[in-house]
Structure 1
């Protein structure tokens, strides 16, 4: 049962506000699928899915036993691909459906990686967002506004192949780590930006690319800052924004949220500290974050199933593959604030009220 965090007392001694009493909390158990760090363009997957469940351990264990009884695989640990095999289609539909374990207790945040890359072009090089501003970096990416315009107009204005090369070059430029970050030059990216700009694409895409090509000093300063300060939120990381969105959703009525996450090396001490900065009352309340092994926590296994199922279906939707039956069951779990730019596939995945009303009237 979630409760509301009380406000800071007005009569705090010495005029110093006291910390609000901790609110009744919940455990949000998370796992992900398709994560490749800051590699957004040209990687193995085109979608990243981060799922969270708020399910009691006993209920999750019952679900795993039910799945074992239905699937009857000798595997020690079940993964999403067990449910996605055609012969287990009925089990997959049960898992997502109204008689399964998830309704009202699960959510998945989707990131279309190509759109997220475009959004970071706009954030970092056009809008001038500072990666040291954790709140700004963890707000996520949304198709309304300049990022959506550039995402839609870029391929049409410059050609899909050259646009992909532009995004790949940006990814290379801003992907910072100790192994490769210091060796990457800005020359290639800004030569390509200049070449595209000379082609004079019309409209907002052309205007924004003009701003991008003037941002070399900004890009070089960003790279230097990212290399110098390990506490800075990685410029292209999609995990922290998705996790922050999950904490914000499940703690939306004041609940203190303890995140229980499958082991993830990207969640370093410095990055988790940034997450605490952002997820604090009144916006959200991240009480704690701890790690588990998904093989030993049945709740993490359920989060893994949902993340894997959603990532595969979202990737198929991007590719134009239809599955209306699965979409209808998956849609209620999809976060409306997912980082998604492709309108055609989002029309299949969108859990929004307009879509639901259309389904009802049909």
Structure 2
């Protein structure tokens, strides 16, 4: 059922999408591996899949796919789980390969949640202190280098379980849901920062922790009245949707985005996301983006939109590849990996510039 309530009235779309001069190309989006603010969940990766297709064409693709795989046409909400039996998965995978109906129309934005924790730590605290001092940490990608230092080398640089405690302490005080005693959570985080800085054995990690030690005032302000009107600090769904939409607009020009309905994607959040993309807003002068032609940004249900069903299939395949690479190898993961990895967006929130963000995962545990 469509989401109800005043926050979900204006931007819920039930009518079919259709590529046009006024609305541009439609990009249908769906997620896999989303756990809200719980960035320390067992599933390390979150994916948002985008398929450049409108509902008119998507209906034809879904119909042909059901016919080829023997899935009853009465299945109105096609899901990835429908393709785990027999040879259905192989037939599904042909959609994304050369000659397939969706070849060249698909991409996947990946978030490494563990890296996202450290990226948020730098973003919410160190960047704020740098800004106060007139320093732009986006120049020469310094903010990313600091986050990578903590995410990639932190576990090796700190003794015992110190790194895990640092991660947990940040998530505990930064999350909006069930914060407990906020003042105590902030103090615990800075106690962990101090302890980690004391024992760090790698210079790049020590330098990042040194910068964190000077950010207490910003942590105290993080949950002020103004901040409470903003999205939760650890909420990454709209960030992923924005970055994926930006990538498609840079390739195609004018686009409209149709996201699978989700309680976090309120009308206001979708409005803000579209505004950021159309104005090119950035945190600092060096992080400004080119203004994009985002015609519409709306939500919808897979029951109403065949295009969202195709995005769900791609997101499910990407999730299977992530689990295959990080948790337990499977035949499905082995089949899909060489097909899905080339579809991953280069701008994904991962700590590596490797075209395969899962390749070095073992070294970053």
- CA distance, structure 2, for counterparts of residue 72 and residue 52 of structure 1: 25
Whether 1:314 and 2:312 are equivalent positions in the alignment is: no
349 and 26 in structure 1: CA distance in 2 versus 1, 3 angstrom threshold = farther
Q: In the alignment, what sits opposite 1:279?
A: 277
Instruction: Identify which of 309, 332, 335 aligns with 1:301.
Output: 309
Q: Give per-residue Cα distances to partners, 1:249-284, cap 9 Å, x unaligned.
A: 222167332211111111123322321321115521
**Separation (CA, whole Å) in 2 of partners of 1:28 and 1:145:** 32
**Is 1:249 aligned with 2:257?**
no
SS of the aligned residue for 1:128 comes to helix
RMSD of Structure 2 on Structure 1 (CA) = 3.1
TM-score by length of 2: 0.76
What CA distance in whole angstroms lies between the structure 2 residues aligned with 1:287 and 1:163? 44
**Where in structure 2 are there 5+ consecutive unaligned residues?**
1-20, 280-289, 361-365
Partner of 2:340: 330
Change in CA separation of 1:194 and 1:348 when aligned onto 2, cut-off 3 Å? closer
Shift of 1:304: 0.7
Q: Which residue is 1:145 aligned to?
A: 145
Q: Is the 8 A contact 2:37 2:234 kept in 1?
A: yes
| Matching of residue 269 in structure 1 with residue 267 in structure 2 | yes
Distance in 2 of aligned mates of 1:233 and 1:348: 29
- Report the counterpart of residue 16 of structure 2 in structure 1: none
User: How much does 1:305 deviate?
Assistant: 0.8
The answer to whether the Cα contact below 8 Å between 2:30 and 2:50 also exists between their aligned partners in 1 is yes
1:26 paired residue number? 25
Which residue matches 1:260? 258
278-287 or 300-309, which deviates more:
278-287
Matches of 2:323 and 2:352, distance apart in 1: 11
Shift of 1:343: 7.3
Q: Distance in 1 between matches of 2:130 and 2:57?
A: 43
Deviations 1:98-155 (A, max 9, x none): 2322211121101011011111111122222899xxxx9xxxx999522112211101
1:15 maps to what in 2?
none
Counterpart position of 1:158: 158
Matches within 5 A, 1:193-232: 193-225=193-225, 227-228=227-228, 230=229, 232=230
Corresponding residue for 1:108?
A: 108
Structure 2: how far apart are the matches of 1:56 and 1:156? 47
CA distance in 2, matches of 1:218, 1:294: 41
Asked whether the 8 Å contact 1:60–1:302 carries over to 2, the reply is: yes
The 3-state SS of whatever aligns with 1:279 is helix
2:190 is matched with which residue? 190
4+ residue runs over 6 A deviation: none
* Pairwise CA distance, 1:225: 4.9
Contact 2:65 2:92 survives alignment (8 Å) = no
Structure 2 residue 315 is the aligned partner of structure 1 residue 292: no
* CA distance 1:250–1:202, change in 2 (3 Å): closer
Structure 1 residue runs of 5 or longer lacking an equivalent are: 1-21, 351-362
Mapped partners of 2:322, 2:173: distance in 1:
27
1:204–1:103 CA distance, 2 compared to 1 (3 A):
same
Q: Which string of whole-angstrom CA distances, capped at 9 and with x for unpartnered residues, describes residues 149-191 of structure 1?
A: 22111010114743122112211111114xx246433122122
Counterparts in 2 of 1:334 and 1:129: CA distance versus 1, 3 Å = farther
What is the CA-CA distance between 1:297 and the residue it aligns to?
1.0
Q: Which residue of 2 aligns with 1:35?
A: 34
Q: 1:152 to 1:52 in 2, by over 3 A?
A: same
Cα distance in 1, alignment partners of residues 86 and 112 from structure 2:
25
